[in-house]
Amino acid sequence: MESEPVEAGEMREPTGQVTLRFYAELNDFLPPPRWQVAFAHPLSSRTSVKDLIESLGVPHTEVDLILVNGEPVDFAHIVRDGDRISVYPMFESIDIAPLARLRPRPLREPRFVLDVHLGKLAAYLRMLGFDTLYGNDYDDEALTRMATSQRRILLTRDRGLLRRSVISHGYYVRATEPRQQLVEVIRRFDLLGSIAPFQRCMRCNGRLTPVPKQEIVHRLPPRTRRYYDEFYRCQECDQLYWKGSHYRRMQQFIEHLQAGEIASHSRGGALA
């Protein structure tokens, strides 16, 4: 539901005021003075709680629970003068089943589509076996279409893209360094148990299948031909893969991740 239109140049007088508090990682979208505190915000028109929250920079895809005056509401709820609004992200360790959860059910199979800012993350996700679409020519319309028609999780660094109401499964990636982005996504979507290396091509996302060495030996560098016997080939682009030093580094990375030795960074921290 959209706010009432305002003519160009027209200034709306405040018609009331609400108090908001955002919890945990939702504070990542707010300026520092609003982190982890309740703050007042003026109302200048009839508006839904979804539009109000997104006007403050928080995409609806990040929100799992909204309480207005202590009662759960949906995104279409119209806010009123004096309302006290509490906004929560997805809960990982607290059972809120009796309340009105806003996030849709998780997709049965985690599949992703990534925006142009996340090319290295796309390669990493494919390396770990996750179905991941990426193209440096994907515009916002293409990303939206693939996310909705193919039921993919949209990963993006563009907050505005996640405000589109048709996007039901999306996530704003906070980290800027690709390895930290990977850790963040794995933890956010609980992917650790689903990692399956040598399933996807890092270049094109095609399926990998084992290939006999004798079929591709003429394509191998001399040292690879000498020291390796297990090979995989992409069904789409014909790229070859083998378990060399890159694979060993990946295995070490997964082991460190499983041991909790690699941290991801988010300002919100634990539920506060």
pLDDT tens profile 168-200: 899 999 999 999 999 999 989 989 888 988 899
- Which residues does 206 contact at the CB level (< 8 Å), separation at least 6? 200, 234, 235, 236, 237
Domain ranges of the chain: 16-88, 112-195, 208-242
68-123 pLDDT per residue, tens = 999 999 999 999 999 999 999 986 544 445 455 566 665 568 999 999 999 999 99
Residue 232: predicted pLDDT: 96
What is the pTM for the complete model shown? 0.79
Q: Which residue has the higher pLDDT, 264 or 133?
A: 133
**Around 106, how many Cα atoms within 13 Å sit in the side-chain half-sphere?**
11
139-157 pLDDT per residue, tens = 999 999 999 999 999 999 9
Compute CA 130 distance to the chain's CA centroid, rounded to the nearest angstrom. 14
220-255 pLDDT per residue, tens = 999 999 999 999 999 999 999 999 888 888 888 888
Compute CA 49 distance to the chain's CA centroid, rounded to the nearest angstrom. 22
Domain at 16-88, CATH from 3.10.20.30, 3.30.56.10, 3.90.850.10, 3.30.565.10:
3.10.20.30
Q: Which DSSP state fits 124?
A: H
